[in-house]
Structure 1
């Protein structure tokens, strides 16, 4: 069990996303919140107007946008006004809270945090979860030949330099940041995503564990005796979700003992319909 801190901090966490929804970025945010709370720190999260509330988390949402209820994933023009609303909400919270530390997710959050850092005098931690411009290209929001590509790349590097510390989720991201020179080695730290062992555990040989496993397989509609191929993650064309479903349709007749389980976000209904159309 983690030990309680003798110096509890007040952390303002900024998440420019529709927290909470069931995909990787939000799971990392959620697990970091629980880990910080477990050792005694106070945490307040500012985020977009929509998303699921999570138990035990003090969430301060930005202005309601009645015409936009779906969760925002990836690049979108909607994020321009959503981030403006989140900036105002984060400023109001920061002035009232006077945080010890600002912990910002994603480049938009780090940009908001960089401004608040100068207003309230709190150090900024940037939780880096990938390149901003690379994500824009992946989502076909930006092209490399676009006249905006170079300015946005420079903006991304400028944001990277604003933080007092930058956290990456894997060593490859850290290596890329060191290569482009936007983050000094002494400010760069890697905190690898790991398994929550309070919730997930390996087979321990008990009847209770086996009963739970069989119950879960039944809930997911997995026939008895099947081997399972599992994908859990973002559902999007650039992630190859369509190709995975097509591969499953090709292999299923040849391997009748295999069950493909594809779970993720957003819009699972459309991928379920696509799988049904392939038989």
Structure 2
């Protein structure tokens, strides 16, 4: 059985909900999962336990106190215990993957002894540690910030692949970490709706008040509980509201400071600190709450971080008051009201207005639950996680027959290379909703359309002129899988009809490439993703991927291309099907789409990784080499 070792330092497991969900998902998929983590203060105290098939090894650890030196003491002890237990696990048998969940960005040191013995290293990027330290130690600790930047760079450098919690973190991995886009997978933190359901309200939690507000989460210096308390002081003392009780659930190194601050602000009769609570109490409290609080202040960390509590509030159907942060709006959308960043009085006024509007609260709560179910649920994240691991190490042995997302380069079938890479790419980009609407623009015989439908599910429509489908594929035509005789330049669909468009080696064949992109943008919903592949017009040699063609045919076609170049006729409109260079394709896409990202290097590695040495692919994948060596170019963009 394929063994995955998960390293966690900042929370115990299963208290760390994200790591626990990942662990259980991997076990359900057939992997052998071992977690190494610290013990909890009151719960998760057994040194070794097996829960739901997940083996957990724990060590005693005291949280940091006293500033930067406290973190050095904590991390040093944690590394010693983590390395000791990791070597113990390795002595028991091979480890295929070590997944390190930050913070801190030091866990690669514990993984190194296993990496030299063949384990792959996955960086599960929970926090931007440099920004975390800068937020915690404002006005000081510059040397610690520089060390954190260095350790992050090393972690990215050593990682075979990266799991990101959102698109902002994915951009950091690609740009700051210099990782290829195809090895960075978004797996959003999300509640499991099967276990996270609204309960009957418990009026006793209101402590005699008419309304209840709730906060759940870690209480550190950067988490904004102090902002929430000062906002509540404004609400009670300046706005004169006395009918609200607020419960703060969670712990952290600022917990005692927050309890003391509540007393200093005269809030002891209005707020309650429970510490860490059971899932049952959490769900009961959130089900009773009229409003939930997300007071994280704007700083370099919070502005791009997805807050778990926001999605949990939404899952329980609760409206939210939040400061106006980039990722808060991405997650919550219209399910929250937003106060200007770090403005405590404005936060109090938004809370006051929401408490006075029960109809709006009900409408926001229902929309939040629906949004989580449709787009942000753990079912979507779980699918992304399992697909990520199947691409990395293959399906678990007992799951190989049923897996639909095994896109390993070593097992690649040339017949569906483009379709497989499309599925891999949109999954890695977290662009696949729970029931995706997919358009295959120019579907040929229908084989690639069938492969995409089998892999991603949802509803798929393939279009092409003439309708010359493979009869075996045409027989599958149904409500969810359809093949239509239509042109990509005049599609018979309303605006915003699709979530994903697969436009693979077709654009070079149409009379008006720019016009076809206008039409595809029309039918793609806002935020939807288009994937485009086309021959590279600057290629020195082409047709390498034509799996059903002889060497003689490939030589003849390349000779014809070079004759067309010499004669000045190597252009699509003259029948040469020359394709487009990267800069040309970018110009076409940017007229109707945003966020254009080229995947050419990743596609080369994906398709030829089992045939060419990594060093050769590394050279070929770099510009300007790939501009003349790559047979085709590949890009994604969003409407």
TM bucket (normalised to shorter chain) is 0.7 to 0.9
Question: How far off is 1:72 after superposition?
Answer: 5.4
* Equivalent residue number for residue 77 of structure 1: 72
Which residue number in structure 1 is paired with residue 568 of structure 2? none
Structure 1 ranges of 4+ moved more than 6 A: none
Greater relative contact order (CA < 8 Å, ≥ 6 in sequence): 1
TM (norm. structure 1) is: 0.77
Deviations along 1:161-217, whole A, 9 cap, x unmatched? 211110011111111222224322121110011111122125xxxxxx4xx322xx5
2: CA distance, partners of 1:105 / 1:201:
27
Matched, 1:38 2:33: no
Correspondence 1:109 to 2:93: no
Task: Tell me how far apart the structure 1 counterparts of residues 226 and 150 of structure 2 sit (CA, whole Å).
Answer: 33
1:237 to 2:234 alignment: no
The residue number in structure 1 matching 2:296 is: none
5+ long unaligned stretches in structure 2: 267-639
What does residue range 153-232 of structure 1 map to in structure 2 within 5 Å? 153-202=149-198, 209=199, 212-214=200-202, 217-218=203-204, 220-223=205-208, 225-226=210-211, 228-232=212-216
Partner of 1:274: 261
Q: 1:262 aligns with which of 239, 248, 266?
A: 248
Contact 1:167-1:188 within 8 A present in 2 as well = yes
Question: How far has the Cα of 1:114 moved from its partner?
Answer: 3.9
CA–CA distance in structure 2, aligned partners of residues 172 and 82 of structure 1:
28
Describe the superposition over 1:34-92 as per-residue Cα deviations: whole angstroms up to 9, x where unpaired.
22223332211112355533744422234x5xxx5x44599612211321222122122
- Separation in structure 1 between the aligned mates of residue 235 and residue 30 of structure 2, nearest angstrom: 50
Contact 1:11/1:100 (<8 A) preserved: yes
Relative distance call for 1:21 and 1:40 in structure 2 (3 A) is closer
Superposed, 1:51-62 pairs within 5 Å as 52-53=43-44, 55-56=51-52, 57-62=54-59
Distance 1:183 1:143 in 2: 30
Closer, same or farther: CA 143–182 of 1 in aligned 2, 3 Å: farther
In the other structure, the counterpart of 2:4 is 11
Q: SS at the partner of 2:119? A: coil
Partner of 1:4: none
Q: Is the 8 A contact 1:44 1:58 kept in 2?
A: yes
SS class of match (1:234): coil
- Answer yes or no: is the 8 Å Cα contact 1:102–1:125 preserved in 2: yes
Q: CA deviation at 1:32?
A: 1.3
Once the 2 structures are TM-superposed, how far is the Cα of residue 30 of structure 1 from its aligned partner? 1.5
Local SS of the residue matching 1:135: helix
Q: Is the 8 A contact 1:16 1:108 kept in 2?
A: no
Structure 1, unpaired ranges of 5+? 1-7, 203-208
What is the Cα deviation at residue 249 of structure 1? 1.7
CA spacing shift, 1:50–1:239, aligned 2, 3 Å:
closer
Distance 1:258 1:151, change over 3 A: closer
**Aligned-residue CA RMSD in angstroms?**
2.9
Between the aligned partners of 1:115 and 1:157, the Cα distance in structure 2 is: 19
Please say which of residues 123-132 and 52-61 is displaced more in the overlay: 52-61
Matching residue of 2:322: none
Q: Determine helix, strand or coil for the equivalent of 1:265.
A: coil
